[in-house]
Each structure stands twice: as structure tokens, then as C-alpha cells.
Amino acid sequence: MIFQDLYDYCIKNKISLSCAESCTAGLISSKITSISGSSEIFKGGIIAYQNSIKINQLNVSQKIINEKTEVSNEVVEQMAYTVRRNFNSDFSLAISGYAGPTGGTEKNPIGTIFIAISSKSSTHSKRFQLIGNRDSIVNQSVIKAVTYLLSELKKR
């Protein structure tokens, strides 16, 4: 199970984590903390479902949201950077996307998610295109995010 693998890797390497979640509404944090002992690695998270939370709690620029939308590389990278800094964690993960059935744009239709990983040395993100209904997209997003995080941790 990916969550146990993440926990084991973080324990072994003394890595702390934090999350900023939008479209997953805390499900990533919930899955990480479903592992017994996860308080050793997980510092906490912010559910930034509305743009006002992204702006006021995670220092995302209103200008960036206006220009790029709340579902973009720039937004998730700022979310990840700020939550890592504010929680003083080694790594953080941030996610924003369109789970549907409404929302989306021509450029980023329903099923588009952006995931960012931040460390003290860098912050970067990836775009994913998922298919399915709302629940399926949210659940796929959780797995994609944790898989991406674990792969990035193992590169360092």
C-alpha cells in the first residue's frame, strides 16, 4: 500500500511532511494519518478549497489566480512552498484540480489536476489528466499525489 510505503520511507529517512489540498479536501492528509504512528512524520495540512483560503493562508497571488486560474502549476507551487514553510516540514505536497462534474476550462478540462512537491531546495509541479466521475477523479488524485511524492523523495 502506497501510504504505508510513504510512512516507512519517511520514518527510515527522518522526513517530515505537510499538505495543502484543494480538490481532495483533506483526503490525502486523512490517508497519510490512517497509518499508525503517522504523527512522527506528518506535521499537518491546510484544506484550501476556496480561493480566499489559497490567497489568505497560502499566499497565492490573486493576480496569478486571475491569469492562470486556481488550477495551475503556479498556484500549486505557491501552495506547496507556503505550507512547507509554515509547518516547518522537510517536504510538502499541494494539489488543485477540477473533479467535476462542473468546472474546467478548454485548456484544463474536468479531470485536470496539478500536484506540486516542495522541499527546502526546490518546488516543482506536474499536470495530470484523469478520467472518471467526481469520486473516481478525487480518489485517483490522492494516489497520483502520494505516488508522485514518494517518487520525488526517493530521487533525493
User: Helices 73-87 and 51-58, interaxial angle, to 10°?
Assistant: 50
In whole angstroms, what is the distance from residue 28 CA to residue 128 CA?
Answer: 16
Q: Which segments in the chain show pLDDT lower than 70? A: none
Which residue is listed with cell 497520483? Answer: 144
Q: What residue spans define the domains of the chain?
A: 16-155
Whether the CB-CB separation of 124 and 116 falls below 8 Å is answered with yes
Q: Between the CA of residue 34 and those of 6, 30, 38, 57, what are the distances in Å? A: 12, 6, 7, 25
Second CATH level (architecture) for the domain 16-155:
Alpha-Beta Complex (3.90)
- Which grid coordinates are listed for 87? 509547518
Q: How many residues does the chain have?
A: 156
| pLDDT tens per residue across span 7-48 | 999 999 999 999 999 999 999 999 999 999 999 999 999 999
CA dihedral 115, 155, 30, 80 (to 10 degrees): -40
Whether the CB-CB separation of 2 and 142 falls below 8 Å is answered with no
pLDDT attached to residue 156: 81
Dihedral sign, CA of 55, 60, 64, 70? negative
